[in-house]
Structure 1
Amino acid sequence: MKLFFYVLSVVLSVQVVCSQPETTKNKPNIIFILADDLGYGDVGFNGQTKIKTPVLDRMAAEGIVFTRHYAGSTVCGPSRASLITGLHTGHSPVRGNPRWTRSGAPVDLSQTQNTVAKELKKAGYHTAVIGKWGLAENLDEGKPHHQGFDYFFGFNRHGPAHHYYPERLWENDSLIELTGNVMKDKVGKYSQDLFTDKALEYVEKHHDSPFFLYLAYTIPHYELTIPDEYKTYYQQQDWPMREMKMGHYRHDRNGHVTYASMVSRMDDDIGRLLAKLNELGVSENTLVVFTSDNGHEYDRVNDPFFDSNGPFRGRKRDLYEGGIRVPFVATWPGIIMPGTTSDHPSAFWDFLPTACDIANVTPSAPTDGISYLNALRGLRQKNHDYLYWEFNERKGPIQAIMKGDWKLLYFVGSHYELYHIEKDPAEEQNVYQEQHERAKELKELLARARSEHPEFPLVKLEKSKK
C-alpha cells in the first residue's frame, strides 16, 4: 500500500511539472556530475570496501542505482561527445580521442551540431559546464559557448586536463592565469577545489530559475595527486605501497593512498553541492545524476587492489563490460523512489532525450537515445533495439553491439566473441561458435549500426605525434 501511494504521488508530481510548459520557473533543475576514469566497482554502492564514498552511497539509499548503465565509449573524448549529442559512436561526429583520426588532426563538435545544452537553452534553462569539456581541441567551433552553454569554466582540451595544478583555465571564452600555480611542482590551487567552488557559486546565482549544470570532474584520471591534508585517513591504513613514477603525469608517490583519497575527496565535494541545494531550498526540484565517462585505468586487472571493475572483465580502452559499464546513481526527491535499482540497459546517448523529456520538449534533431525518465520514476520503460560502440586506438578497430542480454564483439579483421551478459557478466564464456543464429542476427545489426566518417574509418590507425 505504501508503494501504491508513493507511485501515485510521483505520477501527480510529474503531471504538475509537465502540465506547465509555459512556466519555465517550474521546470526541474538538472545536475549531471561526471567522474573521469572511475570504475564500476570504485563506489560503495557497487561493492567497494576500501575507498569510502558515503555521499554517493547515501544518494543510492535516497535515489536509484542503474546497474546496467553504459558510457558512450571506453575513452573520454567520444564518450563525452555521445553524452552531449545523444548519438552513439557509430553516428557521433567525435568517435575517438584527438590524435586517433585518419588525418592525425583532432575532430571537434561543429557549430551546427545539436547538443543537450542547446535543447535545454531553448527550453528556458540557463546552462553551464564546469570542469573538463575536452571537445574543443581546435579552440574553435567546439568551444562550449558554440554548443549551447551560457557559462564555462575549465579545460577545453584534453592535454591540460591531465594536470591538477594548471597554470591557466578557460572562463567562458577567455584563458585566465592562475597566479601561483606551478603545474610541474604541484603547487597552487587544486583544480578539483576550483571546480567545486565554481559549481557552488553557479547554483547560488541561478537557483531561482531552471538551470542545467554539467559538472565534469577530472578525478580520478591520471595524474594521481592530491594535497596531503586530504590523505590522512588512507595513510593510516595498512596498505601495500604502489610506487608511482613521475613523467608526463606528476604522480604522488603512493598510488593506492592517492587514488582512494581523490575519489573520497570528490565524494565529499558532491556532498557540499547537495548541501547547497538543500540550503537554497531547491533539492526537491533538482535531478542529480552521477556517473563516470568510462571504465577505470588505475587498478591492475591481473592483480587488483580495489577491484575497480567489480565483477567485470576489462578496463578503460576495452569494449568488455569493465571498459564501458559505469556506476550510475540519481536522486530527485518526490520523483525517484528511495533505495531503488533498475537493470534497464541505458547509455550516455540517452541523456539528451531524457533531459528533453524532463524539460517537456521534443528533441529537434535525430538521436540514438531513448529517454530513461520512466526508469528513474520506476515506471514501464521502453527498451533499445540495440546498443552500439566502436573503438579504434591501439587495440582497434573493435565494434560491440548488445541486444537484450546478448553482446557481440568484433575485432575487425580478426575474430568475433559472443557473450550472454546476464548469465556471464564477466564475459568468460565465448559462445560464438555454439550460438550460430544469435551471432548471425547480431552481425547483421552490426553491419548497419554505423555510418561512415572520413576521419574514423574501421581500419588500423596510428596515433598522430602532432
Structure 2
Amino acid sequence: MKKRNTISNTTNALGKMKIFSICVALIFCSNISAQSIDKGAERSKPNIIFILADDLGYGDVGFNGQDKIKTPVLDKMATEGIVFNRHYAGSAVCGPSRASLMTGMHTGNSSVRENPKWTKSGQPVDLSLNDVTVAEELKRADYNTGIIGKWGLSENLNEGAPNLQGFDYFYGFNKHKSAHHYYPETIWENDKLITIEGNVTQDKIGTYSQDLFTDKALAFLDNQTSEKPFFLYLAYTIPHFELTIPEDQKAQYSNLNWPLRKMKMAHYRHDENGHVTYASMVSRLDKDVGRILNKLIEMGVDDNTLVVFTSDNGHEYDNLKDEFFDSNGIYRGKKRDLYEGGLRMPFVARWPNKIKPGSATNHVSAFWDFLPTACDIAGVKPTAKINGMSYLPALTNAENIQKNHDYLYWEFNEKRGPMQALLKDDWKLVHFVNKHYELYNLKNDPSELNEISSQHPDILKQLKAVLQIARTEHPEFPLIKKELKK
C-alpha cells in the first residue's frame, strides 16, 4: 500500500472520503433538516471575515488601553462596532487555539490539544477527516471560503490540509515552524509548495510575508461576486516571534528614546531593537486591517460583511518582570499561562447597521463559539456535536436572548504542565495537575492576585467536580508530565 505523506498524494482520495463521510452524516443526523436555499436569499447572506493576530496581547491595542503602540484602525473599529471584554482563546498557544476556532471544541474534547511536538508519541496530531470545520459548515450554505496566512493544523501534510477541511482557497503555512519567519523561501498555495523568488530567510531578504498575505487577501476579495457570500479566515503571523520588519516601517517609533531591549538572533532572526520592532509590527498589522476594510467599501459590500478581529493567545514579547507595553493589561500571565493574560483576548467586531456603534459587552465567549456563530449567521445548524454556542445575539446587541455557558474549560501541557483551568460565572479555578489548585474571583480580583481556595471550600469542591466531567481522554494528550521530544 502506498504511503500517504504529501498533500498532493492524498487530495483526491481523502477528498472523496470526506465528501462521503459528510453525506452519511447528513443522512443520519435526525436533528439536521434539509436546507433549501433560495438563490436570492443566497446573495443576501452576510459575508464573514475573521482576522486573527498571532501572540497579540489583550493590552496591545488602543481600545484596551495601549498608549505606546498606535492602532488607529482597530480603535476606529471599536467606535464603529462592538468590543467583547471577556472573549477567550481556545488555548494558551496557537495550534490548539486555532483547532478550537475551526471546530467549535474546547481543548478537553478537541482532536488537537497541544502544539505539534507536545504529544505522548512526539508526533504531531492534525485535524482529521472526522473533524467538521467552520469552513465546511459554511460550504453547506454555499459560501466561497478562503484561508490566508498561518493554518498550522497540517504538520503531516495530509488530511489536515485546508483544502480538505472546507476551504476553496489556501495560501500560507501548513506547519508552525515555517510560520516563524517573515521572509519565507517557499509557501503553500492550495496543494502546491511554491518558491518565493528572491527571498532568503536567514538574511531577511525579499518580500515580507505580511505583504504576501495582505495582497492575497485583497485578491481573494477581488475574485468574489455577488452570486455567493464569502468567508475569509485571514490568519496573520504578526507579532509572533521572529521580531522583524522592514526598516522603513519603523519611522514612527525610531526616535522616541525608548530604552533598548536588545534582541539576539538565533532560530528567530530578530531585529536588534525589540521595543521599536514590536510596536512597528503591531501598527503594521493595524494598517493592513484598514486595507481590508477599505476594500469592502470599494466593493460595495461593507454593510453586508461582519469583520471580527482577535488574537490566538496571550502575548510573548513583553517582559512580565519589567513591563514596557503592558501587553496583558491588568491581567496576570502571558502566552503559555492559563491565567487571564494567557487566555483573555482583544476582540472587536464591525458590521454596519447590524452592530450598534461604540458598544461593548461583558458576555463570556470563547474561540469554540465562532463555528456556531458563523452557522447562525449563515442560517444552518452545526452538523457535529460541539462545545460552542452562538454569540450572534451579543454581537447584535440582543443580549436579552443571548445564551450563556455553564463553564469554560482549558487544558495545557507544555513545560510547567499539565494544567487545567475552569471559568464558571465569576469563579476561576487553575489546577496544576498532581500539585495544587488555585481559586480566584474575577469580579473582585480580575488580576488573579489573591488565591482564595481555603476561604471557599464549597466553591472549590463544586469546580473540582466539574473538572472531572469537562474532558474526554485522548491517547496522545494524557494529563501527565511530558518532556519535549526532539
TM (normalized to structure 1)? Answer: 0.95
1:116 aligned to 2:134?
A: yes
Provide the C-alpha distance between the structure 2 equivalents of 1:171 and 1:223, rounded to a whole number of angstroms.
23
1:233 aligned to 2:237?
A: no
Task: Tell me the equivalent position of 1:432.
Answer: 453
1:331 aligned to 2:350?
A: yes
Provide the C-alpha distance between the structure 2 equivalents of 1:274 and 1:368, rounded to a whole number of angstroms.
31
Provide the C-alpha distance between the structure 1 equivalents of 2:485 and 2:84, rounded to a whole number of angstroms.
37
Aligned partner (choices 391, 398, 405) of residue 372 of structure 1? 391
Q: Give the deviation of 1:302 after TM superposition.
A: 1.2
After superposition, where does 1:164-313 map in structure 2 within 5 Å?
Answer: 164-208=182-226, 209-313=228-332
Contact 1:207/1:282, CA 8 A, preserved across alignment: no
Contact 1:21/1:360, CA 8 A, preserved across alignment: no
The residue type paired with residue 408 of structure 1 is L
Residues 395-440 of structure 1 deviation map (CA, whole Å, 9 limit, x = unaligned) = 1000000111101111000000000111101000111011011111
Aligned partner (choices 79, 87, 97) of residue 61 of structure 1? 79
* Secondary structure of 1:33's aligned partner: strand
The residue type paired with residue 445 of structure 1 is V
Q: Give the deviation of 1:112 after TM superposition.
A: 2.2
1:402 aligned to 2:407?
A: no
1:341 aligned to 2:360?
A: yes
Contact 1:70/1:324, CA 8 A, preserved across alignment: yes
Root mean square deviation of aligned Cα: 1.1
The residue type paired with residue 310 of structure 2 is T
Residues 152-175 of structure 1 deviation map (CA, whole Å, 9 limit, x = unaligned) = 000000001000000000000000
Structure 2 vs 1, CA of residues 176 and 19 (structure 1 numbering), >3 Å: closer, same or farther? closer
Provide the C-alpha distance between the structure 1 equivalents of 2:443 and 2:117, rounded to a whole number of angstroms.
36
Q: Give the deviation of 1:204 after TM superposition.
A: 1.1
* Secondary structure of 1:426's aligned partner: coil
Provide the C-alpha distance between the structure 2 equivalents of 1:65 and 1:321, rounded to a whole number of angstroms.
17
5+ residue gaps, structure 2, are 1-35
1:390 aligned to 2:390?
A: no
Residues 236-285 of structure 1 deviation map (CA, whole Å, 9 limit, x = unaligned) = 21201110000000000100000000000010000011000001100100
Residues 259-316 of structure 1 deviation map (CA, whole Å, 9 limit, x = unaligned) = 0000000100000110000011001000000000000000001110000000000000
Contact 1:48/1:306, CA 8 A, preserved across alignment: yes
Provide the C-alpha distance between the structure 2 equivalents of 1:333 and 1:315, rounded to a whole number of angstroms.
33
Provide the C-alpha distance between the structure 2 equivalents of 1:308 and 1:187, rounded to a whole number of angstroms.
29
Provide the C-alpha distance between the structure 2 equivalents of 1:21 and 1:64, rounded to a whole number of angstroms.
31
Contact 1:86/1:353, CA 8 A, preserved across alignment: yes
The residue type paired with residue 469 of structure 2 is R
Q: Quick one: percent identity of the two aligned structures?
A: 67
Matched positions, count: 448
Q: Give the deviation of 1:464 after TM superposition.
A: 1.4
TM (normalized to structure 2)? Answer: 0.91
5+ residue gaps, structure 1, are 1-17
After the TM superposition, which segments of 4 or more aligned residues of structure 1 sit over 3 Å from their partners? 18-22
Task: Tell me the equivalent position of 1:158.
Answer: 176
Q: Give the deviation of 1:79 after TM superposition.
A: 0.2
Task: Tell me the equivalent position of 2:476.
Answer: 455
Structure 2 vs 1, CA of residues 423 and 103 (structure 1 numbering), >3 Å: closer, same or farther? same
Residues 341-372 of structure 1 deviation map (CA, whole Å, 9 limit, x = unaligned) = 00000000000000000000000011100100
